[in-house]
Amino acid sequence: MKVGLFDSGLGGLTVAKTILEELEGVELIYIADNKHAPYGNKTKEEILHYSIAIVDYLIVNYDIDALVVACNTATSAAIEDIRKQYKELAIVGLEPGIKPAIEQSTNKKVGILATPATLKGSKYKCLSLSLSKDYDAHIFEQACPGLVEQIEAGATDTQETIDMLDVWLSPMREAGVDTIVLGCTHYPLVAQSIKKVMGESVNLVETSKPVARRLLHLLEQRGHQNISQNSLKILTTGDIKEDMVTHILGKNFTVEKVTIE
């Protein structure tokens, strides 16, 4: 089965890595839309335009069977339209793992780190409000403008990045938050820096494994047999730091630059 994935940058490779670990016999085509990164400060209309162009590219050039929107921001802004327009595809999106975070929290004080666009999304707002009431939980939301750019530049553990995180996380630390949702696929790449600020005991929740399981379920419904070798092709619309690709995936991959209008 051919599976297309995309994100505004390299963060979605954290999802691709988990899929490669959890599934067998899949051909992954990953697109990093670095030309338009980050999505988190773009309008809903802009994100939708970029997303549709990428899906069209994947269908025309690779005849994909399934799509993973490996970006929380694009999922929030575009996945409903993508599902309406591409009914033939098996489609999986990402959403912040608020429910599992609340269930894992001891004191029901949960932090959400996400892009501004994700936190503004109506679907996120409804889910957050509903779950906080159902579980009598206190949710601390924090947008992290500029963090994606730091990660894309390879500055995952620099003092500048830690200082940025300290500003955002101090209120959570002082309030006793014990569980934090990493609501952007880039953010697992600064997990250790977050723990430096919050303490090693903080529980960090991200959603790549549930995404991989959901993808496997949808592919098996289409006749996929979970055997044989995997492959991964990485495409980018802009310039990237290839050593970050190696850092995320653990080995070297060739990166090809493409043009997507």
Which DSSP letter does residue 222 get?
Answer: T
In DSSP terms, 182 is beta-bridged to 113
CA of 102: how far to CAs of 22, 127, 181, 260, in Å?
A: 25, 12, 9, 39
Catalytic residues: 71, 184
Q: Percentage helix, strand, coil, to 5, in the chain? A: 50, 20, 30
What amino acid is encoded at 53 in this protein? A
Q: Is 88 exposed, middle or buried (0-12, 13-18, 19+ CB in 10 A)?
A: exposed
Structural contact between residues 68 and 211, judged by C-beta atoms closer than 8 angstroms: yes
* Total residues found in the chain within this entry: 261
Name the token pair of 75.
Answer: 């999922």
Structural contact between residues 204 and 197, judged by C-beta atoms closer than 8 angstroms: no
| Number of alpha helices (DSSP H) and beta strands (DSSP E) in the chain | 11, 10
